[in-house]
Amino acid sequence: CTNEDYERLNVDPKNPSSVPGSFLFTNGTKSLFDQMGSTSVNRNVFRLFAQQWTECQYVTETNYDIRNRSIPSFHWNEVYSNVLYDLQQAKISVQEDINLLDGEKANQSSIITIMEVYAWQQLVDTFGDIPYTEALQGPDNTVAAYDDAATIYEDLLTRITEAYNNFDTGSAGLENDFIYDGDITKWQKLAASVKFKLAMRLADVNPSLSQQHANEAIGWGLIGSNSENLTLPYETNPTNAHPLYADLVQSGRNDFVPANTFVDYLNDLEDPRRTVFFDDNKTPYIGGVYGDFNTYTEFTHIGDVYYEPDLPGDLMDYSEISFLLAEAAERGGYNVNATAEEYYNQGITASMEYWGLSSGDISAYLAKPDVNYATASGTWKEKIGKQFWIAMYNRGFEAWNVWRKYDAPALRLPASTGNPVPLRFTYPVREYRLNEANVSAAASAIGGDAQQTPIFWDVN
């Protein structure tokens, strides 16, 4: 045998060494939806942090012990290696693909960048400082240094701006685009919305930068209806089912019930979304005691729709954009063309329409004194915060962000330990084993690797 024979022999005949970028875009994007939509206590505890759901038998996570199951490690690894790395490789494949026209390459690269920026922001919002410039280099750098979170934000704003500007509306986008079916204008709106969201996060910490980018994004045109939401069409085949299907149905477990924190607020408001959000196994609706042991049969269960395998995944929606616009209107300095109240009503309406409620229910709800923006009690943060938080029922991470940003609505302390609600994830235990010097430096840079260390934008 010659060396060439040996080299040929060492090529895996069963797995490809290169694939079109679109293949990798599918996995990177779907993995992000999967990770954010899951409620497995091994990977995603955001619905618990937001106190929308609580646990029954094992109350470790609702008491904010996330180390026990290495949840930060899982989240970190998943977003870096299954989302961001695949997206990065997708972009490289697209650039190298001789079958694509330049316009197609530009569009596909921009689409991929939108998902990348989304994922990066999500990581920063979870941990604070993270590896960014030195990340995703594979074997070339296994001990990446951490970057300052605020600096990452600024770079993300630049990247999303470039992505928007590079779109070529005259060319095709992705083949078999499972998000927007090839509609480039919807991708442009998404780019604008991702930028707007980044900008609004900076409202307290860097108002001028926030206003500059938010206004540019508003000028581009934001998501303006539920049909433009960033959603993933999950399927009935269990392999491509919504992750909740695995967690709630296929697991055969009864681990979660809606938490009293959430149920009580909705009961107070007699919110018609209760018929969707919750099962009617109990009258009246009664939530599990947050952070306590809860007997499954004694509390209101999660609504039927969340047990459906093809429940769509949702990473950004009209309701969210509407509430952010309401916030912008309240703050001033942003080029909004409606009042906070109008955006507030638009946010509630978008949420209720998303969940299929009738227009009669919606108008009746908006008319309730406790809902009506003019008559409801509290500061604008409390009013927007509460409704925003409710609207983010299927998006636990954003619901937690609402609480961190607006400090509203008021959450409870978990019954079992009374631990305070975390302001961030602690760094993965794995980083302390494998990248100790850099994680230690990051920990001191952010003021200590504690759950109560706020993310840089969380200054109020």
Partner 1 sequence: QEKAVSGTVTDTGGMPLPGANVIIKGTSTGTQTDFDGNFTINVSEGEILQISYIGMKTAEVTVGASSTLSIQLEEDAQNLEEVVVTALGIKREKKSLGYASQEVSGEKLAQVPVANMSDALTGTVAGLNITQSGTMGGSTNIVLRGVSSLVGNNQALIVIDGTPINNETFNQTNIGSGTGAYDYGNGLSDVNPNDIEDVNVLKGAAATALYGSRGMNGVIMITTKRGKSSEKIGVEFNSAITVGNVNKKTLPKYQNEYGGGYDGGSFYSGDIDGDGVVENNIVYTYDDASFGNRFDPNKLVYNWDSQYPQLPGYLQPTPFVAGASTPNDIWGTSTTYVNSVAFNGGSEKGNYRLSYTNFLQEGALRNNNITRNTIDFSADYNLTEKLNVFGNITYTNTRGKGRVLTGYDSRNPMQGFRQWWNMSVDMQKQKEAYELTGQNVTWNLKDWINQEVGYTDNYYFNRDHNYQTDRRNRYFGNFGLNYEINDWMSVLGRFTFDTFNELREERVAMGSSAGQGRSSHGGAGEYYFMTHTVSEYNYDLILNIDKDLNDDLNLNANVGWNLRANSRYGNDARTNGGLKIPGLYSITNTANPLTEEDINDFNIRKKVDGFFAQANLGFRRMLYVGGSIRTDRSSALPSDNNRYWYPSGSLSFVFSELLDSRETINFGKFRFNYARVGNDTDPYQLINTYVLNAKLGNSYNATAPATSNNPNLKSETMQEIEAGLEMNFFNNRLSFDVSVYNRKTFDLITNTDISGSSGFTGLWVNSGDIENKGIETRVTVVPIQTEDFRWEMTANWSKNENKVTKIFGDSEYLEMGSMWNVSVGAKLGESAGTIRGTDFQYINGQRVVGSDGKYLISESSQEVIGDANPDWIGGLNNSFTYKNFNLSFLIDIKHGGDVYSQDMAFGLATGLYPETAGLNELGIPKRDPVADNGGVILKGVKEDGSANDIRADFSTYENPYGYYGAPEAMHVYDASYIKLRNLSLSYRMPKDIFGEDSVINNMTLSFIGRNLWIIHKNLPYSDPEAGMSAGNVQGFQNGAHPTFREIGASVKIEF
Which lies closer to partner 1 via its Cβ, residue 60 or residue 275?
60
Which lies closer to partner 1 via its Cβ, residue 126 or residue 161?
126
Cα–Cα–Cα angle for 200, 272, 288, nearest 5°?
A: 85
CB 127 to partner 1: min, Å: 11
CB 382 to partner 1: min, Å: 34
CB 264 to partner 1: min, Å: 22
Which lies closer to partner 1 via its Cβ, residue 81 or residue 151?
81
Q: Report the site for partner 1 in 286-345 (rule: CB under 8 A).
A: 293, 295-297
Which lies closer to partner 1 via its Cβ, residue 136 or residue 336?
136
Instruction: Give CA–CA dist 386/395, Å, rounded.
Output: 14
Candidate residues 81, 95, 165, 359; the one interacting with partner 1 per rule CB under 8 A: 81
Q: Do residues 373 and 340 touch, judged by C-beta distance below 8 A?
A: yes
Candidate residues 39, 260, 435, 451; the one interacting with partner 1 per rule CB under 8 A: 435
Structure tokens at 395: 């998006």
Candidate residues 314, 317, 431, 458; the one interacting with partner 1 per rule CB under 8 A: 431
Which lies closer to partner 1 via its Cβ, residue 297 or residue 359?
297
Candidate residues 101, 367, 410, 429; the one interacting with partner 1 per rule CB under 8 A: 429
CB 109 to partner 1: min, Å: 17
CB 277 to partner 1: min, Å: 22
- Residue 343's identity, in one-letter code, is Y
Binding-residue pattern over the window 121 to 150 for partner 1, x denoting contact by CB under 8 A: ---------xx--xxxxxx-xxxx------
Which lies closer to partner 1 via its Cβ, residue 140 or residue 369?
140
Q: Report the site for partner 1 in 171-210 (rule: CB under 8 A).
A: 174-178
Binding-residue pattern over the window 230 to 249 for partner 1, x denoting contact by CB under 8 A: --xx-xxxxxx-----x--x
| Count helices and strands in the chain by DSSP H and E runs | 19, 6
Strand partners, 55: 256
Binding-residue pattern over the window 1 to 40 for partner 1, x denoting contact by CB under 8 A: x-xxxxx-xxxxxxxxxxxx-xxx-xxx-xx---------
CB 411 to partner 1: min, Å: 22
CB 434 to partner 1: min, Å: 5
CB 27 to partner 1: min, Å: 4
Q: Report the Cα 345 to chain-centroid distance in Å.
A: 22
Our finding on whether 416 is near partner 1 (CB under 8 A) is yes
Reported residue count of the chain is: 460
CB 76 to partner 1: min, Å: 5
Rg (CA), the chain: 22
Which lies closer to partner 1 via its Cβ, residue 91 or residue 383?
91
Q: Do residues 155 and 132 touch, judged by C-beta distance below 8 A?
A: yes
Which lies closer to partner 1 via its Cβ, residue 229 or residue 435?
435
Instruction: Give CA–CA dist 146/285, Å, rounded.
Output: 46
CA neighbours closer than 13 Å in the CB half-sphere of residue 141 = 11
State in Å, rounded, how far the first CA of the chain is from the last one: 70
- CA distances to 9, 14, 79, 259, 458 from 154, in Å: 48, 43, 20, 37, 16
Instruction: Give CA–CA dist 376/354, Å, rounded.
Output: 23
Which lies closer to partner 1 via its Cβ, residue 251 or residue 379?
251
Q: Report the site for partner 1 in 87-116 (rule: CB under 8 A).
A: 88-89
Q: Which stretch binds partner 1 (CB under 8 A): 52-60, 352-360, 370-378, 382-390?
A: 52-60
128's torsion region: left (phi>0), alpha (psi -120 to 50) or beta? left
Q: Do residues 39 and 257 touch, judged by C-beta distance below 8 A?
A: no
Candidate residues 205, 430, 453, 454; the one interacting with partner 1 per rule CB under 8 A: 430
Question: Helix, strand, coil shares of the chain as percentages rounded to 5?
Answer: 55, 5, 40
Q: How many residues bind partner 1 (CB under 8 A)?
A: 91
> Where are the strands (E) in 247-343, listed by range?
256-258, 313-316
314-348 core/surface letters (b: 16 or more CB in 10 A; e: else): bbbbbbbbbbbbbbbbbbeebebeeebbbbbbbbb
